Each structure stands twice: as structure tokens, then as C-alpha cells.
Chain A
Amino acid sequence: MTLETQLRSAMADAVATAHPDTDRLVADARRRGLGIRRRRQALGAVGVAAAVAVAVLAPSLVAGDHRTRAPQPLTVDKPTVSSLDTGTTSPITGRSTAAALLYAVGQETGGTAADFRGQGDGEGPNTYAVFRYTPDGSQSAGEVGVNVQHFGGGAAKPGGDLAATLGRCSSFMEHCVPSTLPDGSKLITYDDRSDYHGGRGIRRVADLFRTDGVRVVASASNGLDVTERDEQVTRDEPVLTTEQLVAVVTQPWWGPELPVYFSEPGNQVEPYTSVGGAAVATAAPSTK
């Protein structure tokens, strides 16, 4: 008997008693499928509205100027750090995460952002936000995203599972540089290169695990949906450098609560699509 034949037989044995509950499957699939349809319709609307991009972190937006609610290009000065009051905070949401990411990116470089998506609205403390970003002087967009996770301070203690796993390079990470910051936080930076289409898609990542159990992972890509099967590579390099991503994740105000400074701008980022549900804090990257 060949190996292939034995494998077929072993597979058949292994799943011989696997029977799904089809009635429940139908009901659950309908419920989730309706959610997909709703999101798809919302994204269709976003696609039309995204033709008009929002300028990256206009001060009028941060200041809560309601006249800027309609998405349109804004030409403004870069905001100053001193204008950010970090003393008063409110629970993090997908929208405030998007506004905070805009702010952090705007501290590093200029450009335009559009097509905001987020997860975790009203469901914190783990959130996710991403937007399409076109650097000034460039015609091609990539995606910039951030995932904020809160594991609690105990998770970051030396010897713990997370502390042992996060901050270490895995085999799929190209140009991976692990480091420990002066306060003990673990930082790794790397490129995740696509397996598809000759590996042209690149997602550049900075992954910070702080000693208070907060994990902030920021990424920038050289296209849309890169490293996914339907990736659209638009440029050679991601829209942000590693140094810029590190600057984003090391902003001290990331956490289960954000400065209220980002609340109103978060409500104003348009077009915005909530992808629904609570963002789940995931385990460390698996090794290939």
C-alpha cells in the first residue's frame, strides 16, 4: 500500500464520526452572512465617498470643528504635541483608535487618508483601525493600521507566556530586529512579505509589548490587502518607514483608554466603516 493510499485511508478514519449540526449551521451562517452583506453594502458606499479623501489630521478635525464632518481635502498646519491633553481619557473605541493613528502618523509625515475601517466600537479594550494612506507627493496608496490590545500588567511579567513569546522573531519575519526599550518594553520590527505573486506585497510592522500589558502593533503596506490572495501592490515600498512605525507604537498614550482629545475627531473620521464585533486580543504570531 502506498503512502498516499494509507494517508487517504487515515484521513477517512479520522473524520468518520465528524458530523456537523446542519440546522444550527444554517441558522448561524445566515446570521453571519447577513452581517457580511451589510458590511459589503457599507463598503460599497465607502468606495464612492472615498473618492474625496480626508487630509491627515487637520487641526480643525482634532479640535472638533463640526463644519469638517463632510469628507473633503483640508490644508492645514501640522498639530503640535503640546495641544494634546493626555490627562483626561475615555475608553478606547475603533473610531478613537483611527483618530489617534491619524494623529500619530501626522506627527511623522504628511499625506491623505481615506477609507477608514475599525473594530471595537463600544467593545474595548482591544481595538483595530486601518485606513488607506497616500503620502504627500505620491500617487500610490498603501494601508496603515494599528491593533491595540490590553492583556493586563500581569501578562507582561518576566517569565510569563506572553512575555516569553512576544518580542521574538519568527521565521516569516524578514529583516526582524528585536529590542528591549529602556523601560523594559519589548519591540520587534519586521517585514511580512507576501507569498503570492512573486512576493511583491510587503507589510512593514512595528510590534510593541509594554510592561503594563498593552500591546500596540502598527503596520504599513505597499498596496491594498497585501499578503492576502487578492493583494493589489501599488508601490515598491510601504507608505511608512520602520522608524515612523516605531514612532507610532511608542506614543505613550496608547492603552485601554485614550485621551478624550481623540473622541470627537474619532466621531468625525469619514468615511468610516465599523467592521463590527469586539476586537480579540490574539496570541503571538505563529511560526511557519
Chain B
Amino acid sequence: MADSAPIESFEAFVHATAGGLHRTAVLLCGEHHLAEDLTQATYAKVFASWRRVASAHDPVAYARTMLVRTFLSHRRLRRSSERPVDVVPDASGPPEDPAVRLDLLTALRRLSPDDRAVLVLRFWEDLGSPEAARLLGISDAACRQRTSRALARIRTLLPVLEEDR
């Protein structure tokens, strides 16, 4: 959806964007059921702030920011484990997909949520380092460093990436 396109309704926005947002959620969570819950939680926030989202310069980017921040904030809730949660994005579960997919999702799950988020933003959402840094609330230098570290880790976890180079 182009950022200048008028948005007729919340329903139309979901139908136009759900595929992309959900795929990003799958990569962040590394698991489908949690990704569904994360996607739903994000759209619930979008609905609750619909007027603001609809009038944003880029509603899709706005929703994506909500998704990533919901993911990271729920990770924090779980980390502290003091508060009840209904989304636990970094839990592991038995994967059900074909071998190559299994390997990538499993490898992503083994990364920290911060590392996962930076890889997804940089290489799935194709954001530049400054933009990803702003979204993650860290400096550009820290984002570059985190990207480099995450790439090194996923290469270790997923040797096929290394072998095919």
C-alpha cells in the first residue's frame, strides 16, 4: 500500500497489509502461532489508534513500528516475568515446516530478540541502519554493531549460509 493511498477502512488496511506484517511477525517470533498472536496484538493497537494511523504519512511503516515494538516490549515483560503476558514471542516450539525453512526459523529463534529484530528489519524489511536504529531506539553505531554481531551468530547457527558463499 503506497503511503499516499487513501485508506478506506480498518478492514481494507488489514486486508492490504496483513500478509506482509504477518510474515515479518513469523520471522521475529520464529514460530507461526506466536506470530499470529503478535500480528493480532499489533492490529488491535492499530484499531485502537486508527485515526492516528490512517492519517500518518506512511501507515504501513507506522504499523510495522507498532509490530516491532510490541514484539520487543512483550519480550521484556517475559524477561522480567513479573507481569502477566498473552504474547510470548521468543518461546520455542516444535517447528512444522520443510527442512530449509525449519533451519532458518530455528536459527532465528536461537538468536536474542534484539538480534532477531535487527536482522529482520535490515534484511527482510530492507531498512537502512539509521532507520532501523530509530525504530529500535538505539544509535546508528549500535545498530551497525548489532547487525554485524547478529550476522555472525546466524552464520554460525546456519552453516548452509556459510557453505554456499
Contact = CB atoms under 8 A, between A and B. Distances in A.
B81 A19 contact: no
B164 A228 contact: no
Contact of B76 (A20, A119, A227): A227
A26 B81 contact: no
A286 B10 CA distance: 35
A32 B48 CA distance: 8
Contacts of B50: 33
Nearest to A10: B104
B4 interface: no
A119 B45 CA distance: 19
Interface string B1-19: 0000000001100110011
Contacts of B162: 3
B44 A1 contact: no
B22 interface: yes
Contacts of B127: none
Interface in B96-148: 97, 100-101, 104-105, 112, 114, 119-120, 123-124, 137-138
A6 B22 contact: no
Contact of B84 (A8, A20, A119, A285): A119
A145 interface: yes
A18 B80 contact: no
Contact of A18 (B32, B73, B155): B32
B34 interface: no
Contact of B165 (A1, A120, A280): A1
Interface in A118-153: 119-120, 126, 128, 145-147
B56 interface: no
Contacts of A147: 81-84
B32 to A, nearest CB: 7
A151 B32 CA distance: 27
Given A1-B165, A147-B84, A33 B47 contact: yes
B72 interface: yes
A7 B161 contact: yes
Contacts of B14: 22, 25-26, 29
B78 A282 contact: yes
B78 A285 contact: yes
B101 A280 contact: no
Contacts of A32: 40-41, 44, 47
Contacts of A29: 10, 14, 40, 43-44, 46-47
Interface of A: 1-4, 6-8, 10-11, 13-15, 17-20, 22, 25-26, 28-37, 40, 119-120, 126, 128, 145-147, 172, 192, 195-196, 203, 205, 207, 217, 219, 227-229, 277-280, 282-286, 288
Given A4-B123, A17-B97, A229-B137, 16 more contacts: A3-B162, A8-B123, A11-B120, A13-B104, A29-B10, A29-B44, A30-B10, A30-B47, A31-B44, A34-B48, A172-B79, A195-B138, A196-B137, A277-B84, A285-B78, A286-B78
Counting from the closest, the 10 A-B pairs by CB-CB distance are A33-B47, A32-B44, A29-B43, A279-B84, A36-B48, A15-B23, A20-B22, A33-B44, A33-B48, A14-B101
18 contacts: A6-B164, A11-B104, A11-B123, A14-B104, A15-B27, A18-B26, A22-B14, A25-B14, A25-B40, A26-B11, A32-B40, A33-B50, A120-B84, A280-B85, A283-B78, A283-B88, A284-B81, A286-B79
